[in-house]
Chain A
Amino acid sequence: MESIIIAQMAVSGAFMGLVYALIAYGFQLTYATSKSINFGQGELVMVSAFFSLTLITVGLPYWLVVPGGLFFGAILGLFVERAGVRLALEQKSEGWILLTIIIGLFGFSAAENIWGRDDRPFPTPISSDSIQVFGVSITPLEISVAIGVLAVMGLIELFKRKTLLGKAFEAVSADRDAAELMGVSATRTIMLSYGLSGMVAAMAGILVSPITTVGPTMASALILKAFSVAVVAGLDSGFGVVLIGLFLGALESLASFYIGSGWREAPGLILLILALAVRPNGVFGKASIRKV
């Protein structure tokens, strides 16, 4: 029975890990084009989830709530870029770090005032009755998380590889000045990356909320682990965040079962510290060569 329990814990944890991976992927998108990330990404997940919940409570069907939530997330992402990142980047300053944290805090207060401090259930038409696979029970809800995460990431990767706009996105990551000389506007590409990143955050919120409930504090728990995943995997491998996400999710679920639920955050932090000490570019990151 012991091995079944371990497998059960690992599998449920791994599904959560995919959500961390999706949020970490949002970091990668903006880092690629602008070498900046939104430190308020967790609040973006939370506010988008609340917004989607509101859409549900006003009676919108679920298949309209998802695109609505994603659109809202993209708008928030664009807002973060305009208000918190663009001016700092234009002045080649690191001010975006503080500004994005502040926008996140503002989002937190706004959520408390608009939606209240309580955690709320997030209704979904997808069933949470478990089905047995090799003795491990899996719910359709968990499968929807996996499909949602992989579909969003797959679509964005397809966009980057198959469309000219996507290639321009990659060109700006590779050499911003040279991309400008081709007629690619770096400013617009960075806007696009923040829009996509916001959309990805909203998707994470919509997927995770039926499992965890929605509340203002959901942001901090998610962001810490997403950040660990991003750092451990490296900021330029989409494939890496999925693997590390699965691994970390399984690990923390096992830790909370065997050591105690208070130790849930421990594996993420230990991995984060280890990665920073041993491989600061990430397990899947390319070593950046800087010519002096």
Chain B
Amino acid sequence: MLVVENLHAGYGTSEVLVGTSLEVKQGTVVALIGANGAGKTTTMRAISGMLKPTKGRVLLDGKPVQGQDASRIARLGLAHAPEGRKVFGPLSVEDNLLLGAYSRLPLFFGFRSKAAHELERVYDLFPRLRERRQQAAGTLSGGEQQMLAIGRALMAKPKVMLLDEPSMGLAPVIVQEVFNTIRRLKEAGITLLLVEQFAKSALEVADYAYVMERGCIAVEGSPAELHKNERVLAAYLG
């Protein structure tokens, strides 16, 4: 569903990605783990078009999308819940969710009724968001904002979802909740690329994983295989 081939990208003259390749098959959860600064977030940004790759290809559902605007790639079916959550602070929770479905809703009238079904699904997944639907998103707690960011990405009914560091800055109990949500999304058949600091938890939910080091993939394999790899075990799962 999502194929990344030999991706190069960077900021100014400093190259961060030097030939990253990975694949996310339909209906699987793939984890991307690695140390700080290895290029995990940059990989996400280069895939979703927030950063233009200098070389390499990104195939979404078989079609090359590298170099296109982020808004265009989003409309083609990729939802990126970015690092730091980036909810629209002054807007209400419900408006945030509606904007998640922006690319498939009418722009003027009737968008609310057309999104109603999807909205209910997200509210069922995160009852806390239903309680706070009229509240400004900026006033939510960190964990609630993360749920909103995930819910907003789900509203797009994406072909592939990118989830960047959902546990960042959250209390351990909330982190558990986030991972439970990811497990439920997996059961529902979502196609997900997950970047995580908590390598252990990430490998528990993932079908397949890539370990990034210095801008490219160092090791890849199923979680079971990575658990047998001594180097990975020592560096990330110790």
Contacts and interface: CB of A to CB of B under 8 A. Distances in A.
B71 A180 contact: yes
B185 to A, nearest CB: 18
Interface of B: 48-50, 69-72, 74-75, 79-80, 82, 86-91, 95, 98-100, 102-103, 105-109, 111, 152, 156
Contacts of B109: 163
Contact of B70 (A164, A168, A181): A181
A167 B98 contact: yes
29 contacts: A163-B111, A164-B107, A164-B108, A165-B108, A167-B99, A168-B102, A170-B90, A170-B95, A171-B88, A174-B90, A177-B70, A177-B82, A177-B86, A179-B99, A180-B49, A180-B71, A180-B74, A181-B70, A181-B74, A182-B99, A182-B100, A182-B102, A182-B156, A183-B72, A183-B75, A184-B71, A185-B69, A185-B72, A187-B69
B95 A167 contact: yes
A164 B111 contact: yes
Contacts of A183: 71-72, 74-75, 102-103, 156
Contacts of A186: 71
Given A163-B108, A164-B107, A165-B108, A184 B88 contact: no
A182 B86 contact: no
Given A164-B111, A171-B91, A183-B156, A178 B86 contact: yes
B107 A175 contact: no
Contacts, number: 84
Interface string A144-181: 00000000000000000001110110110011011111
A15 B15 CA distance: 58
Given A168-B102, A171-B88, 12 more contacts: A163-B109, A164-B98, A164-B106, A164-B107, A164-B111, A165-B108, A177-B70, A178-B82, A178-B87, A178-B88, A179-B71, A180-B49
Contacts of B100: 182
Contact size class for A? 20 to 34
Interface of A is mostly: helix
B108 A180 contact: no
B102 A184 contact: yes
A85 to B, nearest CB: 18
Contacts of A181: 48, 50, 70-71, 74, 79-80, 82, 86
Given A164-B98, A165-B107, A184-B71, A177 B156 contact: no
Interface of A: 163-165, 167-168, 170-171, 174-175, 177-187
A170 B88 contact: yes
Contacts of B111: 163-164
A170 B108 contact: no
Nearest to B153: A181
Contact of B91 (A163, A174, A177, A185): A174
A192 B105 CA distance: 19
Nearest to B108: A163
B50 A163 contact: no
A84 B32 CA distance: 43
Nearest to B109: A163
Given A164-B108, A167-B98, A177-B82, A182 B89 contact: no
A31 to B, nearest CB: 15
Contacts of B108: 163-165
Contacts of B79: 181
- Closest 7 pairs between A and B when the two form their complex, measured CB to CB: A183-B103, A183-B74, A178-B86, A180-B70, A165-B107, A174-B88, A164-B111
